[in-house]
Structure 1
């Protein structure tokens, strides 16, 4: 019989198997629920995509309509009959071309966004709807296959349970038969042992007695033994039969167990993956096609937009003032073409249409010719200076309006965060303090430019009138009179250069600087505001006569006129103060960011210049540095002074871009003004007059021309200063 312990163990094994099967069954149920959930999420995603593109289509069509209205609003104005001819003629100008291309670009964008809306509604949304329908159908079929596979696996598990129970039953019968067989064997052994003990306990008896006893006991012993043997044989046969059944049942159980484990493994590793693949059949590929349709639409819109923007960019690059000016003048040729010359209108029969050069008019004409030539010489120098200043100012304005501040790419560097988009570039560029300062600087520079432009145009008009009169007088007087005038002027200029060559600091330069240092350091706009041309000529003529009209303490002269005389002197030099030979060496330092490095470089370049030139430079730039220290009052910082003196002190060689090079010249002059004490040698290395800041000594003009003189007499080998003589020179020979 089976022991209670073995019986309990068998029950535990069965219970464990049933628990494992129960867990598998629960897993199968959850698997179907999970697949159902994935299908629902997929359907919801596809529905959201449809709703999204439906809403986006509405936005795109609204945007398209608004763009169309915007373009039509301005195109209608362009096509209006009012001033139609004027607008048609204006359309050839580059700004108008940009405007027309901009409107066409808006119309192009309107059409493109309308196309986008149509693609969303009639192409992309139906694709998502079809994917949703296909996914639902495929999931339903895949689920049916999955349920069938689960049922087949449960059948396998049930079969395993049945085989296991059969094995347990036959094994129990085998064990019971074995127990009974062992019990029969024990009875047989017991019977055989009892017979042996009886033979040993009997005493010796006579043969007749023994024979009688054996004959009586033998049948009884044989019957019992035979019965036991028969029972043993029966039980042996039963045990053998049950044992064979148990072995076969165990084999069947092991086979079923292996098959079941293989089926379970196959289901979890392969079948479930195949079922999921069936659920996903065509889903990702179809979704990819739909999204690629969207990407293709958007990319084509971007390509179309980029194409239009490239055209607009080309038009923006073609914005050109001179070309438009020429087109306007060609378009309105009848308006801008010069009128017919004014003919001489005779009066009361006077037919003499030419000037008369006969005596006594000839002498008067000759004197007038000389006066005109002298006046023209001065005016041309002055107007050239004004022109250089005007061009330098124009360069500054162009730098202001052409600054590369249009790149806003930083505003479109999106992060993954969902924070609101805010243009830091726009905030910085349009900040009120910064914008106000830039606008104020620009307007101030523009005002100065137009002041110089007006002065230049007025001077050029005057020069044109005087040249026309001079040419006609010369033509009237003939070549001989013309030659005499030129020779007289040449003799005078020669005497001027001869006299000037002996001075360390020319009287005109020193006297003007001393006067400004006494009375004009705080004068607003000094060197920038033009003075009275009449007073400038009077002061200049006085210096030419060898006089010093600024000597003494009288302060009844116009400060701007005196500043104009000083600039006129440097403007009238045969060669600019900075020779053209060192132009490139000096300009090369502008690229250096450090002003100190620039100063060291400039010092090395200027060492090669003559000592006379260095003395003049040292004196002038020390004065300009001193003047710039009062920039809060006179509004002339080093850069503003450089704009005024740059075109005068350093001319741009021919073959160079005058506008761009002039900006470099101004930057160079500014550096020299700031670091003049580093650039120019002191008295120990270069003997000659120096400019001293007021308050640093008894006086501030350390020069033989200042009263009283404060400079020691120069050494015999140094330059000397000549005060006056016949026709004091005005030009410095460098």
Structure 2
């Protein structure tokens, strides 16, 4: 029989197993609860994201509408302006350009934020809603799979419990059978021992008594032994049977135990991970796509904003007062150009239009000339000192207004405290005590500068007035020694060079090109950088008087101003150098890919023009080609020169797209500059002056010659025996090629 101790131990083993199974069952329940909780959190997160982007979409749309209203408010004001700069489609001033670009940037931001709002509402939010729907459906299916796996696991645990109970039962039967077998063996041994003692016992008895005893005990012993042996055999068979069942049950238990542990391990290590993967199927990838959509939208808005800001930054960098001044004066040329010279108005038949230097007035004029010279010397020294003081003051003002106090990057260094930008900015700049002091110093310096500016301009005006009187008196005194001034009429001064109407190259063109060829081939930005409008007007007026202010070897003129005079001459012609009648024929060649074919077409079209026009074209484009050879120094290749001379030499007819046509015009002018020697006829086919490279002639003494009168043979006159240019061909363009 099983002892009470063994019975209690068996109960403890079963209780321990049941406790372990109960713990596993509790874990399985908690696992499902945990997955439910994760699903709820996921759904809530996606709902929060939808609400967030829905609100952000509203904010972006409101911001877009406000920006649109802001831009339209000022754009409407700009469209309704009466500024004829815009009506004439002239180049606007750089501050106005910055203002227009700023408004366009606001319009761009308005469109971008409206697009952003639309993407949030119609793209990103539906993505999150779809993710939420997909996650709920996948979780439901994953939970069904998990419940099924848990049921299978509990079934395996129950099977293990059954096998274990069977093993315990058969093992108990085996132990009991073994105990009974041992008990039978003990009885047998006891019986056999008793028989042996009786045989060995020596008791004095008579033979008849011994025989009687043996006869009586022998059947009794044999019956008991057989009975014990039979019981033993029966118990041996029972034990063997129970032992075999116990071994089989133990084997089944061990196999079931290994299988159960494998199933439990597989469920906890692999199945749970797979179930979670099923719940997460596509969730992270879909969420990543949605967030990347948001990032792409924001990055494109930022890129668009960055592009607009770069354009505005370029316009801000291009804020240049001299360029704006030049544009203003060119746009309002009729307002800023000098008026016609005042002519002598005779009175009561007095026709003397020059200063008379006959005695006794000669001595008086000589004394007055000396006084003016002395006064001018003093005034020039004083005015030069005022100019130096004014320039130093101007430099100080420029240092004040160009101080680099615009960097506010510190305001955007975000910290954990998330301090406001306003407070940071005010601390970094607006709250500086020196701000008021700097403003006061700047205003005081400006006041001093304008005082000196006024003093300088008044002094220069006085010097100009006295110089005019001095020069006229000096010229009159010099001429009085050569001719009788009283016989002179009211015509122009005899020293003035007059332009012969039959001259092939106008004096102003010849003189400007000669000066640039001598001194300006390496001048950076020639024809692109604006010169001094005052000097341009002075040189232009001198040519109009018949003088040549660029004669000789003096190099005291501003090269950009000389280039400006040449461009101004061609721009001021009544009819452009390239007539409108040949515009379409010339522009049609731009589509030709072969430059040789293009040059041949241009040559054919230009053959119909008057000879004098062709001579001027040949002369001008030969010079421009020579100038382009120095593009490494002057930065003016044929294309850059074409951009400068295209609008000047060939105007786009009305009714054509100015932008696209101008690009074709520039390409045409570039082609002519490059292939001028092929396009224009040579000296043999077209008699007239030609441009030659300085230094090419044998008699040219060079730019650095000691002789002050050395000039390069820039113009070659036709030989005496050559036929002159047809008067009929030149009459049509003579008036057009003079101011």
Shared fold per TM-score greater than 0.5? yes
Matched, 1:342 2:379: no
Q: Is the 8 A contact 1:495 1:729 kept in 2?
A: no
Summarize the Cα distance change of 1:386–1:481 in structure 2 as closer, same or farther, 3 Å threshold.
farther
Summarize the Cα distance change of 1:294–1:729 in structure 2 as closer, same or farther, 3 Å threshold.
closer
**1:31 paired residue number:** 31
Q: Is the 8 A contact 1:499 1:727 kept in 2?
A: no
Summarize the Cα distance change of 1:183–1:581 in structure 2 as closer, same or farther, 3 Å threshold.
farther
- Per-residue deviation, 1:718: 76
Please, what TM-score do these two structures have when normalized by structure 1? 0.64
The superposition leaves residues 472-514 of structure 1 with CA deviations (integer Å, 9 ceiling, x where unpaired) of 1211222899999999999999999999999999999999999
**1:319 paired residue number:** 319
Q: Is the 8 A contact 1:94 1:315 kept in 2?
A: yes
Summarize the Cα distance change of 1:489–1:403 in structure 2 as closer, same or farther, 3 Å threshold.
farther
The superposition leaves residues 237-295 of structure 1 with CA deviations (integer Å, 9 ceiling, x where unpaired) of 11111111111111111111110010000000000000000001111111111112222
The superposition leaves residues 552-597 of structure 1 with CA deviations (integer Å, 9 ceiling, x where unpaired) of 9999999999999999999999999999999999999999999999
Summarize the Cα distance change of 1:2–1:334 in structure 2 as closer, same or farther, 3 Å threshold.
same
Summarize the Cα distance change of 1:216–1:511 in structure 2 as closer, same or farther, 3 Å threshold.
closer
- Per-residue deviation, 1:216: 2.2
Summarize the Cα distance change of 1:241–1:334 in structure 2 as closer, same or farther, 3 Å threshold.
same
Q: Is the 8 A contact 2:612 2:729 kept in 1?
A: no
Summarize the Cα distance change of 1:68–1:18 in structure 2 as closer, same or farther, 3 Å threshold.
same
Counterpart Cα distance in 2 of 1:566 and 1:330: 14
Matched, 1:95 2:95: yes
Summarize the Cα distance change of 1:421–1:340 in structure 2 as closer, same or farther, 3 Å threshold.
closer
When structure 1 is superposed on structure 2, of 194-203 and 396-405 the one drifting more is 194-203
When structure 1 is superposed on structure 2, of 213-222 and 490-499 the one drifting more is 490-499
Q: Is the 8 A contact 2:124 2:293 kept in 1?
A: yes
When structure 1 is superposed on structure 2, of 572-581 and 481-490 the one drifting more is 572-581
When structure 1 is superposed on structure 2, of 296-305 and 256-265 the one drifting more is 296-305
3-state SS in 2 of match to 1:121 = helix
3-state SS in 1 of match to 2:433 = helix
Q: Is the 8 A contact 1:400 1:442 kept in 2?
A: yes
Q: Is the 8 A contact 1:370 1:485 kept in 2?
A: no
3-state SS in 2 of match to 1:175 = helix
Q: Is the 8 A contact 2:611 2:730 kept in 1?
A: no
The superposition leaves residues 169-193 of structure 1 with CA deviations (integer Å, 9 ceiling, x where unpaired) of 1111111111111111111122222
When structure 1 is superposed on structure 2, of 360-369 and 83-92 the one drifting more is 83-92
The superposition leaves residues 642-695 of structure 1 with CA deviations (integer Å, 9 ceiling, x where unpaired) of 999999999999999999999999999999999999999999999999999999
**2:590 paired residue number:** 590
Q: Is the 8 A contact 1:474 1:481 kept in 2?
A: no
**2:299 paired residue number:** 299
The superposition leaves residues 18-41 of structure 1 with CA deviations (integer Å, 9 ceiling, x where unpaired) of 111111111101100110010001
When structure 1 is superposed on structure 2, of 346-355 and 289-298 the one drifting more is 346-355
Summarize the Cα distance change of 1:484–1:437 in structure 2 as closer, same or farther, 3 Å threshold.
farther
Relative contact order higher in (CA < 8 Å, ≥ 6 apart)? 1
- Per-residue deviation, 1:602: 65
3-state SS in 2 of match to 1:429 = helix
Summarize the Cα distance change of 1:167–1:354 in structure 2 as closer, same or farther, 3 Å threshold.
same
When structure 1 is superposed on structure 2, of 664-673 and 290-299 the one drifting more is 664-673
- Per-residue deviation, 1:632: 54
Q: Is the 8 A contact 1:124 1:294 kept in 2?
A: yes
3-state SS in 2 of match to 1:497 = coil
- Per-residue deviation, 1:429: 1.8
Q: Is the 8 A contact 1:174 1:246 kept in 2?
A: yes
- Per-residue deviation, 1:199: 3.0
Q: Is the 8 A contact 1:699 1:710 kept in 2?
A: no
The superposition leaves residues 393-444 of structure 1 with CA deviations (integer Å, 9 ceiling, x where unpaired) of 2122111111222222222222355454445244322225222111112112
Q: Is the 8 A contact 1:704 1:710 kept in 2?
A: no
Summarize the Cα distance change of 1:217–1:259 in structure 2 as closer, same or farther, 3 Å threshold.
same
- Per-residue deviation, 1:114: 1.2
Counterpart Cα distance in 2 of 1:440 and 1:678: 66
3-state SS in 2 of match to 1:347 = coil
- Per-residue deviation, 1:195: 2.0
Structure 1: give runs of 5+ residues left out of the alignment: none
The superposition leaves residues 452-471 of structure 1 with CA deviations (integer Å, 9 ceiling, x where unpaired) of 11111111111111111111
When structure 1 is superposed on structure 2, of 123-132 and 648-657 the one drifting more is 648-657
Counterpart Cα distance in 1 of 2:92 and 2:537: 49
Summarize the Cα distance change of 1:308–1:514 in structure 2 as closer, same or farther, 3 Å threshold.
closer
The superposition leaves residues 491-547 of structure 1 with CA deviations (integer Å, 9 ceiling, x where unpaired) of 999999999999999999999999999999999999999999999999999999999
Summarize the Cα distance change of 1:145–1:184 in structure 2 as closer, same or farther, 3 Å threshold.
same
3-state SS in 2 of match to 1:724 = helix
Counterpart Cα distance in 1 of 2:330 and 2:449: 28
Summarize the Cα distance change of 1:477–1:591 in structure 2 as closer, same or farther, 3 Å threshold.
farther
Counterpart Cα distance in 1 of 2:93 and 2:378: 41
Q: Is the 8 A contact 2:690 2:714 kept in 1?
A: no
Q: Is the 8 A contact 1:174 1:242 kept in 2?
A: yes
Figure out how many residues of one structure are paired with residues of the other and give that number.
733
Summarize the Cα distance change of 1:173–1:222 in structure 2 as closer, same or farther, 3 Å threshold.
same
- Per-residue deviation, 1:353: 2.1
Counterpart Cα distance in 1 of 2:141 and 2:605: 92
The superposition leaves residues 351-400 of structure 1 with CA deviations (integer Å, 9 ceiling, x where unpaired) of 22222223333223222222222222222122222212211221221111
Summarize the Cα distance change of 1:611–1:203 in structure 2 as closer, same or farther, 3 Å threshold.
farther
Summarize the Cα distance change of 1:317–1:597 in structure 2 as closer, same or farther, 3 Å threshold.
farther
Counterpart Cα distance in 1 of 2:681 and 2:707: 17
Q: Is the 8 A contact 1:500 1:732 kept in 2?
A: no
When structure 1 is superposed on structure 2, of 23-32 and 646-655 the one drifting more is 646-655
**2:713 paired residue number:** 709
- Per-residue deviation, 1:163: 0.7
Q: Is the 8 A contact 2:695 2:712 kept in 1?
A: no
Q: Is the 8 A contact 2:499 2:546 kept in 1?
A: no
When structure 1 is superposed on structure 2, of 207-216 and 139-148 the one drifting more is 207-216
Q: Please list, as runs of the form range in 1=range in 2, the aligned pairs for 1:80-479 lying within 5 A after superposition.
A: 80=80, 82=82, 92-205=92-205, 209-422=209-422, 424-431=424-431, 433-478=433-478
When structure 1 is superposed on structure 2, of 566-575 and 174-183 the one drifting more is 566-575
- Per-residue deviation, 1:118: 1.3
Q: What's the RMSD between the two structures over aligned residues?
A: 16.9
- Per-residue deviation, 1:713: 74
Counterpart Cα distance in 1 of 2:548 and 2:595: 38
Counterpart Cα distance in 2 of 1:55 and 1:331: 51
Summarize the Cα distance change of 1:52–1:189 in structure 2 as closer, same or farther, 3 Å threshold.
same
Summarize the Cα distance change of 1:239–1:725 in structure 2 as closer, same or farther, 3 Å threshold.
closer
Q: Is the 8 A contact 1:546 1:727 kept in 2?
A: no
Q: Is the 8 A contact 1:508 1:730 kept in 2?
A: no
Summarize the Cα distance change of 1:582–1:90 in structure 2 as closer, same or farther, 3 Å threshold.
closer
Summarize the Cα distance change of 1:294–1:7 in structure 2 as closer, same or farther, 3 Å threshold.
same
Counterpart Cα distance in 2 of 1:501 and 1:337: 25
Summarize the Cα distance change of 1:41–1:278 in structure 2 as closer, same or farther, 3 Å threshold.
same
Structure 2: give runs of 5+ residues left out of the alignment: none
